[in-house]
Structure 1
């Protein structure tokens, strides 16, 4: 591994296959456009190449599909052990991101628990905003919670801002 080369773990990238189903024509087209037949969950992929798959989903299928892939990420990605609540899973997002990426500067995810039923999440990692929202929804759903997620002031990465801030209530 080249320490300067950012990479994305195949198990996490495979979330889009889980969201649509392996035989789905959209999945097959996106994989073909990316130059592969399948994603190996045990392999590491170039971070920018992997991210481009999520952008293709947004362009070809739309925002709701990107959010669905983010929700499936929770089933596919590696998370730290000992997580047993909404608060802990949201607090673990930065650590989980680091378990599923390596090398290079791809950003971070910072969570502050505001009280028993709310948190603020600041995401500096590169990626689509709807994907981030889907991940937060998936984290909460894991514990039977449907969150209210509001995008904070200060801009959106989809529009060129350096971060996205989310206020999450459950």
Structure 2
């Protein structure tokens, strides 16, 4: 799915996810609320559902007006502030859980997916075909990888696979390579 563009008109996102984005804006929370309001989302309430496309429209405005660094920080703040069940205790389980968490916070038949796959003993790839912007994806993946870092990893390097067409280039999926 191209970033910021939801394929399904009736797709929805929950208020908890919207509020996580607002919190991720830090000192710019009022800006986030303004952009959400301009797109029909007023005072998001946990447990309620909102238009996924309207949410992506607000994200696109953040990208254009505030910048990519803020999108990265929003993605990074999501797992930093989340409570994880005790069964998420390893790198593999944590990285594999991103897709399930995405699916539980979004409703729709064609909303994309996030998939983790090992590519070697010290490398993996995460593919993301959601409508979220690439910088936000990278922040989320970075925070999860660092929070649940493998025991043999000192530093995890995360980069886009430049051999593939990623969302920022008009592709439907972003491909992140993780190596340590």
Partner residue in 2 for 1:66: 71
When the two structures are aligned, how many residues end up with a matched partner?
Answer: 168
Gaps of 5+ in 2: 1-7
Equivalent runs, 1:99-118 vs 2, <5 Å = 99-118=104-123
| Equivalent position to 1:96, from 95, 101, 105 | 101
Partner residue in 2 for 1:128: 133
Q: Is 1:166 matched with 2:171?
A: no
Return the alpha-carbon distance in structure 2 between the equivalents of residues 23 and 124 of structure 1: 27
Return the alpha-carbon distance in structure 1 between the equivalents of residues 95 and 101 of structure 2: 10
Return the alpha-carbon distance in structure 2 between the equivalents of residues 158 and 17 of structure 1: 23
Maintained 8 Å contact 1:12/1:78? no
Return the alpha-carbon distance in structure 1 between the equivalents of residues 81 and 40 of structure 2: 22
Sort the Cα spacing of 1:112 and 1:9 in 2 relative to 1 into closer, same or farther, 3 A: same
Maintained 8 Å contact 2:36/2:55? no
Partner residue in 2 for 1:151: 160
Return the alpha-carbon distance in structure 2 between the equivalents of residues 20 and 4 of structure 1: 26
Equivalent runs, 1:31-110 vs 2, <5 Å = 31-75=36-80, 82-110=87-115
Q: TM-score normalized by structure 2?
A: 0.80
Return the alpha-carbon distance in structure 1 between the equivalents of residues 167 and 119 of structure 2: 23
Task: Report the aligned-residue RMSD.
Answer: 2.6
Higher mean alpha-carbon deviation, 72-81 vs 42-51, is at 72-81
| Equivalent position to 1:119, from 110, 114, 124 | 124
What are the superposed Cα offsets for residues 30-88 of structure 1, whole Å, 9 maximum, x if unpaired?
A: 23323444221221111111112211111111000000001122256787762112221
SS at match of 1:14: helix
Structure with higher RCO (Cα < 8 A, 6+ apart): 2
Return the alpha-carbon distance in structure 2 between the equivalents of residues 13 and 78 of structure 1: 17
